[in-house]
Amino acid sequence: MKKYITGKSWFEFLLLLVIVMKSAAGNTSAQQPEVIYDESEVAPYTLPDALVLDNGTPVTDESAWWKERRPEILSLFETQVYGKTPAGKRDLRFVIASSDSNALHGKAIRKEITVYFTPDMEGPSMSLLLYLPKKQTAVPVMLGLNFKGNHTITDDPKVAVSGSWEAAKYKRGEDSMSWPVMGIIDRGFGLATVYYGDIDPDFDDGFRNGVHPLFYERGQTKPGTGEWGSIGAWAWGLSRALDYLETDEAVDPEKIVVLGHSRLGKAALWAGAQDQRFAVVVSNNSGCGGAALSKRIFGETVASINNNFPHWFCDRFKEYNNNEASLPVDQHMLIALIAPRPVYIASAEDDLWADPKGEFLGAFFADPVFKLLGTAGLTVTELPPLNTPVGKTIGYHIRSGGHAITRYDWDRYMDFAEMHFH
């Protein structure tokens, strides 16, 4: 005989359902601890010393840094965090897709360069948008990836709209507040940018699109556990942009500043750590997996970043979900890999998800390496007041306001680059 749910048992059934749903929700929050935004809740943690080898031997001179500790740290970031970038020089093709020597009301030269990653010019390519101040040689260039497409950084109607991923859905000039193009040109810098979706669209598709498949061995369908994720690919794209800039006669290839905001700040740091041709590296609000210390467990954590963005890091990084204590590195060591080249770390007061204090401490604990290599380093030991840039070889500021890259930030980065270039 069939059993029917009576009025009363419907009520009981619903009650049971509510209880089951509540307890499931309870379980989820038990697995995902509350986000810590209060300094008093930060538990004690131990950082690996950037100047002690894994076997316990202290690093006391430059030669031990270059020959032993630096390669050791780089390899830890490759195998445990971002994944290894495929080695080997690519046979790139640069095609000038457009060029205009009267851009920005006659103040600048604008070029769009299609960078093909294979000589047959098939497969993925990226479009590099370059503005250079007119009548200037040996131009220093600010290079960074953009989030929404080259056409969104400026109102300039001639900039092409990328066909990759989501670029077409954004309006021309819609991100121009983040890119003070005219201000950059007026200060004598060039600006180079690439849409990050040209290199690798930012969603978890099992690495079928973007540049990863270009490097698969026969039969391989996705990167191995210790191979690169999307941040690795974006960083690689920045180096390919630099490959082009080295060939442009107007540009000074020894004065390239690589910078990025947020996830693209993580990519800029990783690019600067791996590729020593970048003269200056800038991280704007890069947070977890960028400049902020993971072991503080403040704001975004390793588990939350891996759960929300499973494609950003290498698979092995997931072993450190809710297990930051066992990470053999922390982000101060990423900053240390940039030494002795100048690096600027910037935070924003209200950007607690990115852990401003943790970003400052990333810089602070990298400082001994900068000192060992004979630079002035950070020069301060405390988080500075708001809107007060500090530091020499490591620059730092915490700006009032939230998660963004603003004109204030850009002006500080250009001050910093000028100080080092002149």
Q: Determine whether 403 is an active site residue.
A: yes
With CB under 6 A as the contact rule, the residue among 305, 314, 334, 335 that binds ligand GCU is 305
When binding is defined by CB under 6 A, the residue of 262, 274, 331, 406 that contacts ligand GCU is 262
- Range in contact with ligand GCU (rule: CB under 6 A) among 57-65, 163-171, 300-308, 377-385: 300-308
- Closer CB to ligand GCU, residue 108 or residue 288? 288
Catalytic residue from among 125, 127, 230, 262: 262
Quick check: is 176 catalytic? no
Nearest distance from residue 389's CB to ligand GCU, in Å? 22
Buried b (16+ CB within 10 A) or exposed e, 43-72: eeeebbebbeeeeeeebeeeebbeeebbeb
Of 292, 305, 372, 376, which is closest to residue 331 (Cα–Cα)? 292
70 near ligand GCU, judged by CB under 6 A:
no
Q: How far is the CB of 351 from ligand GCU (least distance, A)?
A: 9
Query: Number of residues in contact with ligand GCU, rule: CB under 6 A?
Result: 8
> Which residues, 307 to 336, sit near ligand GCU by CB under 6 A?
308
Question: Which two three-digit tokens encode residue 185?
Answer: 């040109």
Q: Cβ contacts of residue 31 below 8 Å, gap of 6+? A: none
- Cα angle 360-361-363, degrees, rounded to a multiple of 5: 70
Minimum Å gap between C-beta 413 and ligand GCU is: 18
Complex with ligand GCU: residue 85 or 286, whichever CB lies closer: 286
Give min distance, CB of 267 to ligand GCU, in A: 10
- 56 Rama class: left (phi>0) / alpha (psi -120 to 50) / beta: left
296: contact with ligand GCU by CB under 6 A: no
User: Position of tokens 């270039």?
Assistant: 421
Q: Which is nearer to ligand GCU, 248 or 355 (CB)?
A: 355
Residue pair 232/398 in contact (Cβ under 8 Å)? The answer is no
Are 280 and 341 in contact by the 8 Å Cβ rule? The answer is yes
Measured from the CB atom, is 300 or 367 closer to ligand GCU? 300
* Phi, psi torsion values for 193, nearest 5 degrees: -145, 155
300 in contact with ligand GCU (CB under 6 A): yes
Q: Which residue has the tokens 């948008």?
A: 129
Residue 366 found at the interface with ligand GCU (CB under 6 A) = no
In sequence order, what are the residues at sequence separation of 6 or more whose Cβ sits closer than 8 angstroms to the Cβ of residue 363?
Answer: 291, 332, 335, 343, 345, 378, 391, 394, 396
**Does residue number 263 form part of the binding site for ligand GCU (CB under 6 A)?**
yes
Question: Where along the sequence are the contacts to ligand GCU (CB under 6 A)?
Answer: 262-263, 287-288, 300, 305, 308, 353
Active site residues: 262, 403
